[in-house]
Amino acid sequence: MSNRPIICSICLKALDSKLDEDGVTYIHGEQHGDLGHEPDPIEAPADWRGACDFCSTDQAVWELPAKTFTAINNHISAENWAACNTCAALIEKNQWNALVRRVKAQYIEKHPGLFPTDIAALETQLKTLYRDLRKNITGGMTPL
Ligand SMILES: [Zn+2]
Ligand SMILES: [Zn+2]
């Protein structure tokens, strides 16, 4: 088994995998919104850097060491989180509320037509997720 991430050859974003009767299907993560194309899965080249795990917009250049934990909705957060320069700076300065605002704004931009209740739920989810993440951080930011 290769441990290279599977990415989309068109937008170069990491793809999520979904297991169904036909086997594994690769899909764009819903955090990216509608990208306007079908995913074309390829193995990531060695020098590929994914998007920030926080805002999922800018390219990740930092890594936040963390333990694996079970987050809300039984999602497993697997080990380290990748961060772009902006998100990394907010985390370093312990400005988690500003980080929530930034991630929320990026998500709203990619998902037009969200209801105010969806946005409120998103904010609660992000706050819970980051509170859990903070308990599992094992060190300072390191460059990718
Ligand atoms: Zn794509
Ligand atoms: Zn970011």
Is the model more confident about 16 or about 75?
A: 16
Is the model more confident about 91 or about 79?
A: 91
Q: Which amino acid is at 40?
A: D
CA 130 to ligand 2 center in whole angstroms:
13
Q: What is the mean pLDDT of residues 68-94?
A: 89
> If phi over 0 gives left and psi between -120 and 50 gives alpha, with beta otherwise, what is residue 60?
beta
CA pair distance 93, 10, nearest whole angstrom: 35
Q: Which residues pair with 62 in a beta bridge?
A: 83, 143
Instruction: Find the farthest-apart pair of alpha carbons in the chain and give their distance in angstroms, rounded.
Output: 46
Domain ranges of the chain: 6-43, 62-143
CA 32 to ligand 1 center in whole angstroms:
9
What's residue 8's pLDDT?
95
Write down the number of H helices and E strands in the chain: 3, 9
With cut-offs at 50, 70 and 90, classify the pLDDT of residue 2: low
CA 91 to ligand 1 center in whole angstroms:
28
CA 51 to ligand 1 center in whole angstroms:
13
The values of phi and psi at residue 13, to 5°, are -90, 150
CA 61 to ligand 1 center in whole angstroms:
21
Q: What is the mean pLDDT of residues 68-97?
A: 90
Residue 73 clears pLDDT 90, i.e. is over it: no
CA 42 to ligand 1 center in whole angstroms:
10
Q: Residue 141 corresponds to which tokens in the numbers above?
A: 């930011």
Residue 1 clears pLDDT 70, i.e. is over it: no
Closest listed ligand to the CA of 57: 2
What's residue 77's pLDDT?
79
